[in-house]
Every structure is written in structure tokens, then in C-alpha cells.
Amino acid sequence: MPATRPRIVIAEDHTLVREGMRQLLADDFEVIAAVDDGRALLAVAERLQPALILLDISMPRLNGLDAARQLAGVCPDSRLVFVTIHADPAYVQAAFAAGAHGYVLKSEAASGLIAAMHEVLAGRRHLSPGLAGVERSPAVPEALTNRQREILQMVAEGRTAREIGEVLAISHKTVEFHKASIMRVLGLRSTADLTRYALAQGIVPT
Amino acid sequence: MSVRLLLADGHALVVESLAHLLSGRFTVVGAANDGEAALALAARLLPDVLLLELSLPRLDGLSVVRALRCGSPGVRCVFVTGHADLGHVRAAFAAGAFGYVAKDAAPEELYEAVARAGRGETYVTPGFGLDSAEVPPRQLTEQRSGGLTPRQSEVLRQVALGRTGKQIAAMLGITLKTVESHRSCIARQLGLRSPAGFTRHAVQHGLIDLADSSTPTGAAAAPEFPPADGLRSSDDRRARGPARSG
């Protein structure tokens, strides 16, 4: 075990996987926090400024892609490695557009993840074998703001305007205002439409 | 003697993570990354317990459990899965599983489920309104796949497409009150708490397609489900065919 292990944070909503990974990585890294959604990740990353963050894409309240977009402003020196089941090039492109340094599939062995983390910490980018090259395709421009995407995800998760307002510390009226703007921008008319849009875009998992 | 465990999940990293959590308390005898390998390994190693995901490549988890029940009935199966809805729980126990643990459960739950399966007892993650200690597996399976009537499925579909109660009532030739009553029944039965929940359930179970018209009042395809026969409500008498069919 090295004298000083790199300090890392894990964001993964499946507790069993998260706790297992924590043990799995303990020899090589110091896991200083492990959280279950993107919102909690933003909070601990700002406070702890980890060297590296492992994050899943599908997470409740704030998914990994939208969390990554905000992490650049919160902990600019942290390296980001996505650990996900999604092999779809669209996700890979979105991840690198959001600021990722690495992208590892959960179908890889733990040794592959650990190697990828060391590579990213050494300043290089890393993709799981088979994905190389796909990250360079142009990303589709984003129609919604970060705040709108946060609200869209929570609407699609079935949360009320009041609940969303509490999570984001804004009034439920402001939430309703954002929701109306999102529907206008996307040309949608109901919560059901928003939910289907969020599912189709991968903002919430199907 | 320690329980002998076999693990199966399509994602190697998940298998290794679970193995780390479990190896201190149980004996992990093997791991598989697809359903066929899980079945073959289970038949050869005869573990006390097979921990498996519902979604597995090559052969799904339910098929593995059904096959083992005939071929190697001594192997008790416990699902450790990302699917957290009552329909999947019921299907799992109907197939012959001894346990059902959501992947967002605490490790202690997984330990409990494995220990119980080792003793021939059942376990189900809390939160489904089912008490694993008291409810024998059979009772969990009485209502297959959520147990919705065709009429309920159609209402679920229309809600998921964003139609209002009034629109649905007009379309199906029933009163608004009947629609509301269907809606609350469905919500209770499937554990759905919001319109967004209806939409997610409908998409996840193939009742609607994400490519369906996204305008709530637009010309939608004809309902996939014929109107239910034999409903007692007089409101349903006129419902002989879809009022609107594209």
C-alpha cells in the first residue's frame, strides 16, 4: 500500500455496488466519501476537493452527466471518471462534453477500473476498450440550462414542485416557472410529455 | 458451515464488488457474467445459494431460476437487482426465487437474504408492503404482472400519454369518476404515486413507445388493449371499441 493514496469520491446509487467498490478500491485509493446521487456529489466534491471522482450516469435527483457539467465550477482540479453500464456512443460523447477524463464500463474487471484511474490521475484520458474514438464526435448542442435539466429530471422522477423547490432551495412558484419554460422550449404540453422526453434523453433511466 | 455462494451479474465490476462485500461472511465459490454460464456453473458447483440479477445476457434471471428448479432444486436463488417494482418481485417469487434484494439496499440486507436462503427461508427487500418473514412465496405471486385488467391497462396507457381524466372518459365512453377510480386502483396496485410514475411504468413495460406522438390530444394509435368485457359498472357498457382510433 503506497504511503499516500489518492483521495477519491464515489457517486453510485446502488448501495451494494457502492460499498463493494469502496472495499475493492481501498488498497489503491483513499475513499474519502461515497454518495448516492449527483446533488450529494456536488456538495462533498466542493468541500473535499478530491483528486478523482468516480461517478455513475444514472442516479436519482441529479444524474451523473448533469452533475459533471457543474463539477467543473465546484472542483476544477478533480479528475472525473464515469463508471457505467452505458456503452452507447451518445453517452460517451455526452460524458466527455460534460468534462469527463475517463469512461469505464461496468462490464470491465476491477483491475481495468483501477488501471484507468491511475492513467487519468497521470493526466491522460481513458476509455474502456472498444469505445476508443467515439468520444470525438461532435456533441449535440444543449437546449436546456443546467437548472432546467435538474428540474426536468426531478419532474420525471415524480416529485412535486414543492418537493423540487425544497431540494433546490427555491420556491415552488419558481419551479413551476422553470417547468413552463422547459415545456415552451421543447414544445411539450404535459408532465407526461416531459417524463417521456426525459426517458428518451436518458436524463432518467428507463 | 458457511453458506456456499455463486454470483451472477452481467457486469464484471458489479460481481467483483458484491464478492468483496460477501466473502468475509460466506464462501464465494464462483462467478458468472451471463445466464447460461450461471446455469452451467450452478449445475456443476451446486452452491447453496445463487445470487443473480434479473437482467442477464444470453439467458435472463427468471429463466435461470426456472431451469434450476427442475434441474438442481437444491440451489436456492436470490435476486440482487436494479429492478425495484412489485411486478418484478412477484415474477421472481413465481419463478421460484427465495429472495429479492434491491441493489440500493444496505449490505446488511444482502447478508440477511443470503443467510435466510441458506436456511430455506424467504426474504424480500422492505418497501413493497410485503413481509418476508410472514408471507410465503406463493402469496406474493397471486397477482401476476401487477394483475391489471385490460381496462386498467388502457387507462394506465392513456394517463401515461398525458391525457386528462376528461379526455380518457370521453375516449373510453365512461364517466370521469370511473376513470378516477381506475386511476387510484392502478396507483395502489402498482405502487405509483404520480403521473410521471405512470409514464415511467408504461414505458418500462412496453405499454407506450417513446416514439408515440407527444401531443396529448394528437391522433394516437388505437389502444392495444380491447375494452374489458364484463365490467360491472354501467358506465362501461358503451365501451365496445376504441372511441378514437388514429
Among chain B residues, CA nearest to A204: B200
> Domain boundaries in chain A?
7-136, 146-200
- pLDDT value of residue B101: 96
pLDDT band at A141 (very low <50, low <70, confident <90, very high): low
Among chain A residues, CA nearest to B199: A192
Mean pLDDT, range A129-146, rounded to an integer: 71
What is the DSSP track for B193-245? -SHHHHHHHHHHTTSS-TTS---TTS-PPPPSSPPPSS---GGGTT-SS-S--
| CA–CA separation, A106 and A206 (whole Å) | 18
Q: Which residues have a Cβ under 8 Å from the Cβ of B137 and sit 6 or more positions away?
A: B93, B96, B97, B98, B122
Most confident of A121-130, A132-141, B237-246: A121-130
Average pLDDT, rounded, for chain A: 91
Q: SS3 for B86?
A: helix
A137 vs A91, which has greater pLDDT?
Answer: A91
pLDDT band at A155 (very low <50, low <70, confident <90, very high): very high
Q: Does B21 touch chain A (CB under 8 A)?
A: yes
Mean pLDDT, range A89-99, rounded to an integer: 90
Q: Does A13 touch chain B (CB under 8 A)?
A: yes
Q: Number of Cβ pairs closer than 8 Å across A and B?
A: 126
| CA–CA separation, A181 and A124 (whole Å) | 39
Cβ-Cβ contacts under 8 Å, A26 against chain B: none
pLDDT < 50 stretches in chain B: 133-145, 213-246
- Report the candidate in A7, A49, A55, A2 with the shortest Cα–Cα distance to residue A31: A7
pLDDT in tens, B200-219: 888 877 778 776 544 443 33
- Does the domain at residues A146-200 carry the CATH identifier 1.10.10.10? yes
Q: Which three cell numbers stand for residue A144?
A: 436546456
Mean pLDDT, range A2-20, rounded to an integer: 92
Among chain B residues, CA nearest to A159: B194
Q: Which three cell numbers stand for residue A170?
A: 427555491
Q: Does A66 touch chain B (CB under 8 A)?
A: no
- pLDDT value of residue B240: 39
Of the residues B11, B13, B208, the best mutation for testing chain A's interface (the one with the most A CB atoms within 10 Å of its CB) is: B13
Looking at residue B83, the DSSP 8-state letter turns out to be: -
The Cα of B132 is separated from the nearest Cα of chain A by a number of Å equal to 20
pTM of the shown model? 0.69
pLDDT in tens, B234-244: 343 333 344 44
Residue B57 exposure: Cα atoms within 13 Å on the Cβ side: 10
Q: Does A171 touch chain B (CB under 8 A)?
A: no
Give A7-136's CATH code, choosing from 3.40.190.10, 3.30.300.30, 3.90.1150.10, 3.40.50.2300.
3.40.50.2300
- pLDDT value of residue B186: 84
Cβ-Cβ contacts under 8 Å, A193 against chain B: 162, 214, 216
- pLDDT value of residue A110: 95
Cβ-Cβ contacts under 8 Å, A106 against chain B: 11-14
- pLDDT value of residue B130: 65
Instruction: Measure CB to CB from residue A199 to each of B13, B107, B203 and give the nearest one.
Output: B203
Q: What percent of chain A has pLDDT over 70?
A: 95
Cβ-Cβ contacts under 8 Å, B197 against chain A: 158
Q: Which residues have a Cβ under 8 Å from the Cβ of B69 and sit 6 or more positions away?
A: B95, B96
Task: With a cut of 70, say whether residue A53 has pLDDT above it.
Answer: yes
Instruction: Measure CB to CB from residue B16 to each of A24, A85, A157 and give the nearest one.
Output: A24
B residues 149-178 closer than 8 Å to A (CB) = 159-162
- Complex ipTM: 0.78
Instruction: Measure CB to CB from residue B103 to each of A14, A23, A160 and give the nearest one.
Output: A14
- pLDDT value of residue B62: 93
pLDDT in tens, A156-176: 999 999 999 999 999 999 999
In what order do the strands lie in the sheet containing B4-8?
B27-32, B4-8, B49-52, B76-81, B99-102, B123-124
Among chain B residues, CA nearest to A20: B17
Q: Does B24 touch chain A (CB under 8 A)?
A: no
| CA–CA separation, B113 and A92 (whole Å) | 36
Task: With a cut of 60, say whether residue A205 has pLDDT above it.
Answer: yes
Cβ-Cβ contacts under 8 Å, B81 against chain A: none
Q: Does A129 touch chain B (CB under 8 A)?
A: no
Q: Does B84 touch chain A (CB under 8 A)?
A: no
Q: Which residues have a Cβ under 8 Å from the Cβ of A121 and sit 6 or more positions away?
A: A6, A51, A52, A79
